[in-house]
Amino acid sequence: MARAIIAGAGTLPALLLKAGPAHLVAFEGVEITCGGAPVIPARFEQLGHLFGALRAEGIDELCLAGAMSRPRFDPSALDEETKALMPRLMAAMGQGDDGLLSSVISLLEDEGFAVRAAHELRPDLVAGEGGLAGIPTERQLADAARARAVLAALGPLDVGQGAIVASGQVLGIETLQGTDAMLDFVGRTRPGSRGVLVKRPKRGQDLRVDMPVIGPDTVRGAADAGLAGIEIAAGGVLLLERRAVLAEAEARDVAIWATP
């Protein structure tokens, strides 16, 4: 098996390189950190070319890693294989993020590639059930339960990987703009709430795409927003730079724990 990581922004692609040798696929317009690994440049309009390059390197396993924004297609640059895929791609683009990415995975599988989740390559990046930093209060656990209920209700709609609740009041529900934008919103509109951020995959979400992530920035953002705790899904949220996350949590008095 030879592996390639389809690299989005952030540190995740570099972390996955530590799981073993891999090529990095770098789409035009995506800023990546290559860390010395061989890079295969790619364009969304030229998937036929990309598939050829992957096969030429003997690559049969792919992993999508890191944030990527929805591509804009330049119709004049389409190669033949991409042209043939366009009806399927256009239908996928009309769906929610999960729908789009699931379609992309099916397409890659139909091309003969195995698609792996980031935590299959690096099981040490997800947390087991239990406490990670600090000890949540009863109030925080109750707030987290309410946030989980909000996310469970929204899951079937392909919305919501995060929510913030303080003293029983819902202060933030994550939308397309992401966790950092939600934290900023809550910090500005309800500073010092001592609420809890809950991050979970959407119910039934394919973890091979858009797996939720927290890192030191998330803890900093939560503390800056006046929150007192972060609950993540055990086995379902990538913990980037665990040591830095825990140090930040201790320094800023933010409890972190994982529930099933």
Residue 146 burial (10 A CB sphere; 0-12, 13-18, 19+): middle
Is residue 220 within a helix (H) or strand (E), and if so which, with residue range?
A: helix 216-224
Q: Token pair for residue 185?
A: 């919103």
43/50 Cα distance (integer angstroms): 8
Distance in Å, CB of 212 to a second copy, minimum: 16
Asked if residue 94 binds a second copy (CB under 8 A), the reply is yes
For residue 101, state whether it binds a second copy (rule: CB under 8 A).
no
Specify the DSSP element, H or E, that contains 214.
Answer: strand 213-214
Q: How far is the CB of 154 from a second copy (least distance, A)?
A: 6
Considering beta carbons, is residue 5 or 171 the nearer one to a second copy? 171
The minimum distance between CB 4 and a second copy, in angstroms, equals 29
Binding track, positions 151-190, relative to a second copy; x by CB under 8 A = --xx-xx-xx-------xxxxxx-xxx---x---x---xx
Binding mask 187-216 toward a second copy (x if CB under 8 A, else -) reads: --xx--------------------------
d(CA 192, CA 222): 11
Q: Alpha-carbon torsion 24, 30, 36, 38, what sign?
A: positive
Helix (H, G, I), strand (E, B) or coil at 256: strand
Nearer to a second copy, 181 or 246 (CB): 181
Q: Which residues bind a second copy (CB under 8 A)?
A: 94-96, 146, 149-150, 153-154, 156-157, 159-160, 168-173, 175-177, 181, 185, 189-190
